[in-house]
Structure formats: C-alpha cells, structure tokens
A and B are shown apart, each in its own frame.
Chain A
C-alpha cells in the first residue's frame, strides 16, 4: 500500500465523520428545545461541515482524480462512505443527541489534539483550527451532560437511555488497521490507543459528575471502515444529496 492511498482513505474517514454528524446536527434547525440551543447546535453543525469541506477538498487533491469536496460529498454512495457509525445515528430526543455529541466531542478533542502535530502540514493546519472550535463544542455538551444527567428523574432516564443505545458504536472509534499503521509510521496519523486512554478517562469523569452509569453491555458494532453502515445512512444521504444530483453542475 502506498502512502497516497492510505492518506486518501484516512482523510475520508475524518472528513466523512465530520460531514455526517454536521448534517445530523443541522436537522435540529428550527426544532431545538429552546432558541439558544437551536442556535448552538446549528453553529456546531456549521463548524463540522466547514471542517469536512477542508478535509474532503484535501482528500480530493491527494487522490489526484480531480474530484473536489462537492464531488466527494454528493456523488459517493453509502458503501463508499467512511464515517463512524455513531455519527449517522438518528437524533432521537434532545438527550440522545447530547449523548451522541458528547461521546463524539471527547473523541474529536483528543484526536485532533494529536493531529495538531501531524507531519502532514495541511492536516496539522486543519487540526489546529478545528481543535480550537471543538474545545467550545465539548464545553457545551459537557454542561448539558451535567444538566440532564443530574437534573430531573425524566432527564436522567432519557440521557442514560441515549448513552446505553449508543455505547455499542463507541469502540470502533479506536480501531486501527493497516492504513493507520502506515501513516503512524510516517508521523501523519494519530495513535488511537493514546486517544482511547484519554477518551475513557474524560468520559468516566463526566459520567461520574452527571450520575450516568457506564453501560455494561459488551456487544460492539463496527463496519464503517469497510463501508458497512447502519440502515440510517442511506436515508440521510438521500436527503443530503438530492438537490446536487437532481441539478448536476448547477451554480448560483
């Protein structure tokens, strides 16, 4: 395997996860439980879509087949998508959106902290910028973890249910394969074992404060690296890609 292929694949993984979770968050637009939260989630969605734009643009350049960020976002099918399964899970109620976002924000925070020192200059520049934004995202979701988890009986149950439902998707965030290994050797990719240690520590700490139990289930769902997704991604892509595919090459 050459480095160019590995890098393309790696950038797709990062970019697709940001794009899909950004799209999911954008579905809250106009539906937030209060105005401030509606605005907050859309701001966060915008950061993620912005991050995806940069990563997919760079992925297209690395691939060298003249595909730009829009081609990669709108003209690939489900099986070509490399986003983590947790990012495509439906929003559910507000508590489960917060649970999903918190688990993913902690991951983003430590992953991008590592990527800031990537030997790939473009990736390091994107990571430096993104990491600043993710710090604000994580603060936001952490506050809501406390508020919902340690809030009323109803909010606690809803948040715990959200965490329970999503837990099986968390372990694939730290899976590594030959692509990671090649790039870690080059100093380009992040060592996910390191990220995992930090992630577990932070999650445990916030769960304790929020009176949320770490699920005991051992079942683990994975597949995103082979493009094997849950049934939800197809519906998401159908909505996200519809306009672009209906009016090919349209400009305004």
Chain B
C-alpha cells in the first residue's frame, strides 16, 4: 500500500477519470465520485449511480481500480451507495458548460418536476446554434441519462441531459 498519499490526494487522482459515456467530464464533476476513505490499509471509494441500471458503473469501478494500481494502491474497495439519490443538481456549472460545448444540452432545472407527468417537454436551447426553436424527438436517448431533441433552426439533432 502506498502510504504517501492521503485521501484528498487520492480523490484528486480519481477525479481525472472521465465518464465512460460522456468523456468530456470527469466522475467528480458529474457527482458520481462521492468519497474516499482510508481504513486499515484499505482504500475505500464510494460512488453513486446516475441511473439504477447504468451500465457504466462497472466500467467506472474498473477504471478506479486501474488508476489506483498505477499509483501503487492495491487494496481497493469500491462501494455503491444509493442515498442520497443522485441528482443533476450535483453537476457543476463549469461541467454543464463542457457538456454544452460537447453538443449535449445540459440539465437546466433541478430534479424531476411533476410537470413531466403532464407531458410538456420544456423549452430548450440548441447547444450548437443557441436557438430556442427546438423540439423533443424522444425522451429516451442514446444513454439512460439523455433525451433526444432536434433544433428546428440549424436542423441538427442533439442530446439533452435529463433532469433527475
């Protein structure tokens, strides 16, 4: 066990791990990486899934183990926690801007509001041309956390990171 590193330093190292499906932001910015603990020579990393069935969690767990092995930490435990439940509110403003530049419209509103039940998709800005003249194609997109939209100005389809 590499004892030269404290938990803050380990957290910083793990922060470099990109999200496997949205590689422009890292797991810390996305709010998946919750905590690093050092207990009896074991490095415990606490993560939380964005969506319950998110298949990226296994990849993230492997990435964490590989990253820590590179700095000489072999005894690693990755724990999944569900409480408090992940929310798009944990995505930082700078990460939201990175999403937009990458072509994904960032979540604009906190949590799921009851209006989603009434079936009115909210007005969204196209991440490419900035027009508000957009429409939803499908509320389920290429990954569990995204919906599919299109811009009626520049005609480009784009992903929207759903509020949760």
Contacts and interface: CB of A to CB of B under 8 A. Distances in A.
Given A36-B148, A125-B82, A135-B117, A130 B52 contact: yes
Contact of B53 (A39, A51, A140, A142): A51
Interface in A126-167: 126, 128-130, 132-133, 135-136, 138-140, 142-143, 146
The prevalent SS among residues of B at the interface is loop
A140 B139 contact: yes
Nearest to A121: B83
B139 to A, nearest CB: 6
A140 B53 CA distance: 18
The prevalent SS among residues of A at the interface is helix
Contacts of A143: 119
Contacts of A133: 51-52, 164
Contacts of B116: 135-136, 139
A46 B142 contact: no
Given A36-B137, A40-B138, A136-B139, A129 B53 contact: no
Contact of B140 (A39, A121, A125, A138): A39
20 contacts: A39-B138, A46-B51, A47-B53, A48-B53, A49-B53, A50-B49, A50-B52, A51-B52, A126-B52, A126-B82, A129-B85, A129-B86, A130-B52, A132-B111, A132-B164, A133-B164, A138-B117, A139-B139, A142-B117, A146-B119
Interface of A: 36-37, 39-40, 43-44, 46-51, 53-54, 121-122, 124-126, 128-130, 132-133, 135-136, 138-140, 142-143, 146
